[in-house]
Amino acid sequence: MRFKATVDNVFLLTNLLQSAEKMGKRGIIKFTNTTLFLICARGEGDVQMWSNLPVGDIFSDYRIESNSSNNTIALEVSITPLVQALRSASSKGNDHREAAEVTLKLSKKGKEAALCMDIKTQTRDGKQVNVTHDVHVVVRRPAEVDEMSQPRCPPLQVHIELPSSDQCRPVVEHLHKIGEIIWLGATRDGRFRLSVNTTAGDIETMWTNLKNVSVVREKETENEEMEEEEEPVDDSSWHLVPLPSKVLHKWLSSQVLQNYVIIGIVPHYCVVAYVYVGDRQHGGIITYYMPSRNVSFD
């Protein structure tokens, strides 16, 4: 089993791992011939994160050899040490410039497997500095990881393009201080709102004229191309789901990539958020499953 690659896009890989770190401490990284998968299946509040990116968006000189039939390597990792190692590659402190070269390699340290990150950088006076980080990993059988599946949930009743996290985050931070439950709602005519219920009345913020789209995992179509519904639904009807404010606040704080986001809602059951990374047709996608209170995914 061998893996080695040059990390060309340190920024993207760092931010992807930072997003996962805020959801949970451990995750699964799966390398295939064409795709990098990052899975955080049991985050705080039962939130799950499933992501996939083309390896070419992050790596070059990408080499992988595995005994599995589909040439796959799956690793269980502690996310924080990887984030810390990558930060040292992208830091711009007083002594070092941006790293000139970052290499990631699967190696063996004693009896344990490790992801070895070799960073070559220069000081401001031109002196070359080499820094190496070894992050302990657990090699998992690819078949075992393939048996993991994304949560099953009822059909999503509405999809809507989310306002930017810069708009949503301060609203959620404010509502988080007021109540433990934030109601998230959307309509098929382009409205989206965040609200809390208090003894004095409801407090809410609403956005209008947003784009309604339909998402089929990694593909999106305009609302006009949606499949016919079994029962007609009034476009002005609200589809609402109560989420723990702590979970919603943490999810928004994890959105460091500032990308295009679509959310789907199953009323009173869950929110599914699709975060596009790079080109929406050919780039990566991060999918988050956020259950409503008192809901546990299978």
pLDDT at position 216: 43
Position 99, amino acid: A
Under 8 Å between Cβ of 112 and 165: no
Over residues 39-69, the pLDDT tens digits come to 998 766 688 999 999 999 999 999 999 988 8
Under 8 Å between Cβ of 120 and 99: yes
pLDDT at position 145: 86
96 forms bridges with which residues in the sheet? 123
pLDDT at position 115: 95
Based on DSSP, count helices (H) and strands (E) in the chain, helices before strands: 5, 19
Position 128, amino acid: Q
Six token digits for residue 59? 């790596």
First CA to last CA distance, the chain:
33
Neighbours of 63 (CB within 10 A): 11
d(CA 85, CA 58): 16
Of 175, 147, 198, the residue nearest 247 (C-alpha): 175
Percent of the chain past pLDDT 90, that is, above it, reads 53
Low-confidence stretches of the chain (pLDDT beneath 70): 43-45, 91-99, 214-232, 256-258, 279-282, 294-298
Q: What is the pTM of this model?
A: 0.86
76 forms bridges with which residues in the sheet? 28, 138
63 forms bridges with which residues in the sheet? 4
Dihedral pair phi/psi, residue 36, rounded to 5°: -100, 125
